[in-house]
Amino acid sequence: MAGKLARSLTGMAMLLVMAAPAWAQSATALHVHVVNLRDSNGQVICTLYNSPLAFPSDSNKAVGQLAVPLKADSAVCSFGGLAPGKYALVVFHDENGNGKFDRSWLGLPKEGYAFSNNLRPVFAPPSFKSASFDYMGGDQWLTVVMRY
């Protein structure tokens, strides 16, 4: 019995070792780790831009937009198939799941938000130039901190 279990485990380990190179090559993407979420309600929406003309509010001209579930107090957005270049990111915590960035009647944010480079705008959104970063291709990770 112990011999069969050992052979089965050895066989599974060999399959994983043989499959690892193919998996590692196909996992190239820009991964955005969003941290500091105040609760696990709703979803996180990540919008990626490669143009200052669209950034930060014209998501119709964005390179990509993802809505991802939360895991405890964080989330991960992964954008695959990107060409190397300059990008900027807008992220918000869509707590009520309506797909919109909600604001108060005064125009103040009601939901958490974040920008690439962890910029903290005061009276206006940051420029594309200040929020942009270089994506070199391959597997790259960024961390953004949610602000409320």
CATH number of 28-145: 2.60.40
- Which segment of 5-14, 86-95, 119-128 scores lowest on mean pLDDT? 5-14
Tally DSSP H helices, then E strands, for the chain. Answer: 2, 8
Distance separating alpha carbons of residues 107 and 105, to the nearest angstrom:
5
**Pairing, β 140-145 against β 29-35:** parallel
- Rounded to an integer, the average pLDDT of 74-78 is 98
Predicted pLDDT at 72: 85
pLDDT value for 123: 86
Domain locations in the chain?
28-145
- List, for residues 18-32, the tens digit of each pLDDT value: 333 333 333 689 999
pTM: 0.81
| Tens digits of residue pLDDT in 30-74 | 999 999 999 999 999 999 999 999 999 999 999 999 999 999 899
Per the model's pLDDT, the better-predicted residue between 18 and 114 turns out to be 114
Going by C-alpha positions, the residue among 63, 69, 29 that lies closest to residue 45 is: 69
Asked if pLDDT for residue 104 goes beyond 70, the answer is yes
